[in-house]
Structure 1
Amino acid sequence: MTTPVRHGQGTLATGQYWQGWAVPDPVGVVVLVHGAHEHGGRYAHVAERLGATGYASYAPDHPGHGRSPGRRGDIRSLAAAVEGVAQTARAAADRHPGVPLFVYGHSLGGLVALQYLTGTPHERVVGAVVSAPALDTSTATPAQRVLAPVLSRVAPGLGVLTLDAETVSRDPEVVAAYRADPLNHTGRMVARTGTEIMLGAAGMPARLRDLRLPLLVVHGGDDRLMPPSASEVVRQHAGSPDLTVRVYDGLYHEPHNEPEKDRVLDDVVAWLDAHRGS
């Protein structure tokens, strides 16, 4: 028998839009944290898959993304995105008392999730899934590292980087839907968002040392947008005694949107099931 999933939506105190997929008597709650230039609605199929096995899901749209206010593609600051996750987690915890919480962050959302988890996460957070985290800064030149913070201050809306939709998935229908989605930001990444990602990634290794929560890290082996070396940063620096890193050969940037997505999501659900009693 299929578990009924009930969709809801609202606005956080920050002004950000959120949406949720609730199920009766959930065994756990997952806060979904989306990547750059997309929005929480692109995770509806992930939420449906989680809901089928008893997990409720909630997803905020970052500042400047999806249905949240702000300049398109501009997260304002990493702290602002983290606060959206924190408020969503608190609201989800209030709606489902006594139920374990998880965080599932992809790409920029993986960086945001790790920033949240290495700060002051909700006391009921028992683990996290991190997908293709935005932690690789190897392509930034020394000049870019110096100039990025300056540009972020004086020209925060300046377009500095184009994200190729073809790198998202090997499924042409996913790529076409991505391009046609009016809630996605199809322009260049703006200077402020790029700078926040670069600075957040640079500071993450030191933060990860004190992280003790169980972690599942997933990454596409042929990810051309964020190379698998980004997940190695978590493997090398996280203090978590329970850490699993899975690299799926041949997959692109969004493992949850690849032709093999069912296998990936089955692995995610199995990991959640094994950790919800932590």
Structure 2
Amino acid sequence: MRTAHEQQFTTHDGTVLFYRYWPAMENMTAARAVVLFHRGHEHSGRLQHVVDELGLCDFAMFAWDARGHGHSPGARGDSPSFAALVRDVDSFVHHVCTTYNITPDNIVVIGQSVGAVLAATWAHDYAPQIRGLVLAAPAFQVKLYVPFARPGLALLQRLFGNFFITSYVKARFLTQDTERIQSYDNDPLVTRAISARVLLGLGEAADRIVADAPAIRLPLQLLISENDWVVQRAPQESFFERLGSPLKERHLLAGFLHDTLGERDRKLAIDKIRAFIERLFRVPPAADSLLQAHHSGYTRDEELGLGKALPALSLRRLNFALTRLAMRTLGRLSEGISIGLTTGFDSGTSLDYVYRNRARGALLIGKLIDRGYLNSIGWRGVRVRRLHLLRAIASAARELRESGQPLRLADIAAGPGRYVLDAVAQLPERPQSIVLRDFSELNVGLGRALIAARQLTDIARFETGDAFDEAALASLTPRPNLVVVSGLYELFSDNDLVACSLRGLARAVEVGGYLIYTGQPWHPQIELIARTLTSHRGQQAWVMRRRTQAELDELVRTAGFSKIAQWIDDWGMFTVSVSRRI
């Protein structure tokens, strides 16, 4: 039996979480690790037997108590959001890497039930470069046994706020192991409650991850329990079929209940996990490039499909046509829709209006339409992205300040530049220089007026510039040590174009300097946008190719930057990442 060391780490929001650490029993040239994520309601202490039975003596083992569970703080079974738990996962693995000097490609993650959904969502949203992923009975769809349970819970939450639900599942429906049944019933650290927001967030994230499973390309092993009373089997099968991983394997465990790794015959599951991990480490990590994803792949196929006209008698075609007609007639009473129709809904001018989030329009009906427009899920996500941009800029500026470097800031596609100047206003010290660029003369004029209004003309200038001109970017002066690229690369499908821009920035940014970039790996309204909204490029339809986070990070990495931090909204739509020039 390996001895656990009880430790703590500080997660992304300052909360201190508990974890157990089992040091490797054999020395290796390169440190290796397995990171375990427990089931819902449980804690890391109930994974001691997994650590022992895996028998991977040359691997360090780590397992946390998720917030609201075990020895970690927080209301039992609760979290600020499911997305906050996913970011806790990212913080934990980052802590393991930095504290124990273990590179991500020497880490395998094992998640069970809710822990498996957390791990899969993390793999999708944050694109970690770990060696592999094992999912045991992932809770992609919980069996709630009550008709319309999820819509009902969502309605109750909207009416009364967050509340807690006590699990109906008895230990005998989790495992056939008598000892595990007794320990579950008698363990004071087992949390039988779960908050409505975590349960609903789990369901929403799971739906998204199953639908977009091709974005996950890590080597992956899926273990399905045949007689699972807790989660549905069909979504697990669908996830595996769609999974983009070049190396993947699925095992159906006959007669198993939900606690796959705590079942009576768990040796069958443990042996498969051990064999999978050992295979992964017999050879170097497989090369898997997405640099050509704009030529072939599922996001390219999606883009081509969005560019095709729907059948003439299609109800969806009629619905989108009516939406376009409404926007071009009554919708013009809304100032936001009017700006979008004039300059393109993806233009810097349009985004600047969305950032301000003040409903305007002709007559009362125009303001009401504008409020509905500004409250659409996409624009809400864009405003969260703005908040994350402000945090990212503040974080990079703080790192530069602590290293004794004056901030030299540049934004190569700033729109009117409002969010950059807002970020600057919140810094404790003025930058040494600010260079803002945009391709639109309208935005350049608006940006210069903002610079003057904020009395920054002594350190800031706004100029016309092409964000894809490698030579022009390389010659940015003063030479920046922090560059921001927001809302740009998402609008252009061509990876060669994006790579050209990134090469220019790599030549411009000093070694040790920072690049902040945004992505859009998922959007629930991507077809609505493509069939009803126009872009800034000559009033063409706004058809986007989603670029997965793994693909975007590879482009940035290839140019000479290393990602060190990332933020994402609760819906999984927009990411903000900080990378460092290496």
Alignment TM-score, normalising by the size of structure 1: 0.89
Aligned-partner Cα distance in 1 for 2:64–2:81: 15
Tell me the residue number matched to 2:474: none
Tell me the residue number matched to 2:77: 73
Q: Which of 119, 128, 137 is matched with 2:125 structurally? A: 119
Tell me the residue number matched to 1:159: 165
Tell me the residue number matched to 2:141: 136
Deviations 1:34-82 (A, max 9, x none): 1111111111111223454322111121121111111111133211211
Instruction: Answer whether contact 2:37 2:110 (CA < 8 A) is retained.
Output: yes
Instruction: Answer whether contact 1:5 1:48 (CA < 8 A) is retained.
Output: no
Q: Which of 53, 60, 63 is matched with 1:49 structurally? A: 53
For residue 18 of structure 1, what is the amino acid of its counterpart? Y
Gap change, CA 1:231 and 1:19, over 3 Å in 2? same
Tell me the residue number matched to 1:255: 260
Deviations 1:180-222 (A, max 9, x none): 1111013x43322221121112211233121111100012211
Tell me the residue number matched to 1:7: 5
Gap change, CA 1:263 and 1:273, over 3 Å in 2? same
Instruction: Answer whether contact 1:178 1:184 (CA < 8 A) is retained.
Output: yes
Aligned-partner Cα distance in 2 for 1:228–1:196: 19
For residue 237 of structure 2, what is the amino acid of its counterpart? E
Gap change, CA 1:145 and 1:5, over 3 Å in 2? closer
Gap change, CA 1:122 and 1:211, over 3 Å in 2? closer
Tell me the residue number matched to 2:91: 87
Q: Which of 263, 274, 277 is matched with 2:279 structurally? A: 274
For residue 11 of structure 1, what is the amino acid of its counterpart? F
Whether 2:185 is the aligned partner of 1:183: answer no
For residue 130 of structure 1, what is the amino acid of its counterpart? L
Instruction: Answer whether contact 2:220 2:249 (CA < 8 A) is retained.
Output: yes
Instruction: Answer whether contact 2:137 2:231 (CA < 8 A) is retained.
Output: yes
Deviations 1:117-162 (A, max 9, x none): 0011433x02100000011257577743333334345332232652
Whether 2:53 is the aligned partner of 1:19: answer no
Deviates more, 1:244-253 or 1:227-236: 227-236
Instruction: Answer whether contact 2:140 2:232 (CA < 8 A) is retained.
Output: no
Map 1:165-176 to 2 at 5 A: 165-176=171-182
Aligned-partner Cα distance in 2 for 1:59–1:121: 20
For residue 243 of structure 1, what is the amino acid of its counterpart? K
Gap change, CA 1:137 and 1:48, over 3 Å in 2? closer
Aligned-partner Cα distance in 1 for 2:215–2:267: 33
Q: 1:12: Cα distance to partner?
A: 2.5
Whether 2:154 is the aligned partner of 1:149: answer yes
For residue 77 of structure 1, what is the amino acid of its counterpart? S
Q: Indicate the RMSD between aligned Cα atoms, in angstroms.
A: 2.3
Larger CA Rg, structure 1 vs 2: 2
Gap change, CA 1:180 and 1:110, over 3 Å in 2? same
Q: 1:258: Cα distance to partner?
A: 1.4
Gap change, CA 1:164 and 1:247, over 3 Å in 2? same
Tell me the residue number matched to 1:102: 108
Q: Kindly tell me the number of residue pairs found equivalent between the two proteins.
A: 274
For residue 162 of structure 1, what is the amino acid of its counterpart? Y
Q: Which runs of 5 or more structure 1 residues have no equivalent in the other structure? A: none
Alignment TM-score, normalising by the size of structure 2: 0.44
Give secondary structure in 1 for the equivalent of 2:110: strand
Gap change, CA 1:145 and 1:257, over 3 Å in 2? closer
Whether 2:229 is the aligned partner of 1:224: answer yes
Instruction: Answer whether contact 1:30 1:103 (CA < 8 A) is retained.
Output: yes
For residue 25 of structure 1, what is the amino acid of its counterpart? N
Aligned-partner Cα distance in 2 for 1:130–1:63: 20
Aligned-partner Cα distance in 2 for 1:149–1:63: 22
Instruction: Answer whether contact 1:32 1:103 (CA < 8 A) is retained.
Output: yes
Tell me the residue number matched to 1:242: 247
For residue 59 of structure 1, what is the amino acid of its counterpart? A
Tell me the residue number matched to 1:206: 211
Aligned-partner Cα distance in 2 for 1:177–1:137: 23
Map 1:188-199 to 2 at 5 A: 188-199=193-204
Gap change, CA 1:80 and 1:140, over 3 Å in 2? farther
Give secondary structure in 1 for the equivalent of 2:156: helix
Instruction: Answer whether contact 2:143 2:229 (CA < 8 A) is retained.
Output: no
Q: Which structure has more helix as a fraction of its residues?
A: 2
Instruction: Answer whether contact 1:115 1:204 (CA < 8 A) is retained.
Output: yes
Instruction: Answer whether contact 1:104 1:128 (CA < 8 A) is retained.
Output: yes
Gap change, CA 1:5 and 1:270, over 3 Å in 2? farther
Gap change, CA 1:48 and 1:137, over 3 Å in 2? closer
